[in-house]
Amino acid sequence: MVTPWLEKNPRAAKTLKFGREQQYVVNPNGIPELCEELKQCPRHAPTPLHALPALAGRLGVAEVRVKDESQRFGFGAFKALGGVLAVYSELSSAVGEAYHVNTGFNEVMRGDHKEITSRYVFSTASSGNHGRSVAAGAKLFGNRCIIFLPKFTSAEKETAIRARGAEVIRIDGDYDSAVAECKRRSQENGWTIISDTSWEGYDKAPRSVMRGYCVLAHEVVTEWRQAPTHVFVQAGVGGLAAAVIGYLWAVLPMRPTFVVVEPESADCWFRSNRAGKPTLASGNADTVMGGLACREISPITWPVVGEAADWFMTIEEDQVLPARRLLAHPLDGDPAIASGPSGCAGMAGLTRACTEEAAFKALKLDRHSRVLLINSEGNLGEEPA
Nearer to ligand PLP, 28 or 239 (CB): 239
**Helix, strand or coil for residue 371?**
strand
Q: How far is the CB of 215 from ligand PLP (least distance, A)?
A: 14
DSSP assignment of 241-276, as one string? HHHHHHHHHHHSSSPPEEEEEEEGGG-HHHHHHHHT
Interhelix angle 79-99/129-141, nearest 10 degrees:
40
Nearer to ligand PLP, 244 or 354 (CB): 244
Cβ proximity of 268 and 234 under 8 Å: no
Nearer to ligand PLP, 150 or 239 (CB): 239
Q: CA–CA separation, 344 vs 385, rounded Å?
A: 15
Q: How far is the CB of 90 from ligand PLP (least distance, A)?
A: 18
Question: Which of the 8 DSSP states describes residue 238?
Answer: S
Nearer to ligand PLP, 94 or 242 (CB): 242
Q: How far is the CB of 183 from ligand PLP (least distance, A)?
A: 17
Nearer to ligand PLP, 94 or 297 (CB): 297
Q: How far is the CB of 339 from ligand PLP (least distance, A)?
A: 9
Q: CA–CA separation, 213 vs 218, rounded Å?
A: 9
Contact partners, residue 57, CB within 8 Å, separation at least 6: none
Q: How far is the CB of 148 from ligand PLP (least distance, A)?
A: 14
Q: CA–CA separation, 121 vs 113, rounded Å?
A: 15
**Helix, strand or coil for residue 372?**
strand
Q: How far is the CB of 271 from ligand PLP (least distance, A)?
A: 15
Cβ proximity of 124 and 134 under 8 Å: yes
Cα–Cα–Cα angle for 106, 208, 258, rounded to 5 degrees: 125
Nearer to ligand PLP, 46 or 341 (CB): 341
Nearer to ligand PLP, 237 or 327 (CB): 237
Q: How far is the CB of 237 from ligand PLP (least distance, A)?
A: 4
Distance from CA of residue 65 to its chain's centroid? 17
Q: CA–CA separation, 351 vs 1, rounded Å?
A: 19
Q: Which residue is closest to ligand PLP by CB? A: 291
Contacts with ligand PLP by CB under 6 A lie at 77, 79, 127, 129-130, 196, 234-241, 291-292, 342-343, 376-377
Nearest to 164 by CA among 138, 125, 193: 138
Q: CA–CA separation, 183 vs 199, rounded Å?
A: 11
Q: How far is the CB of 261 from ligand PLP (least distance, A)?
A: 10
Q: Which amino acid is at 85?
A: L
Nearer to ligand PLP, 81 or 359 (CB): 81
Q: CA–CA separation, 140 vs 138, rounded Å?
A: 5
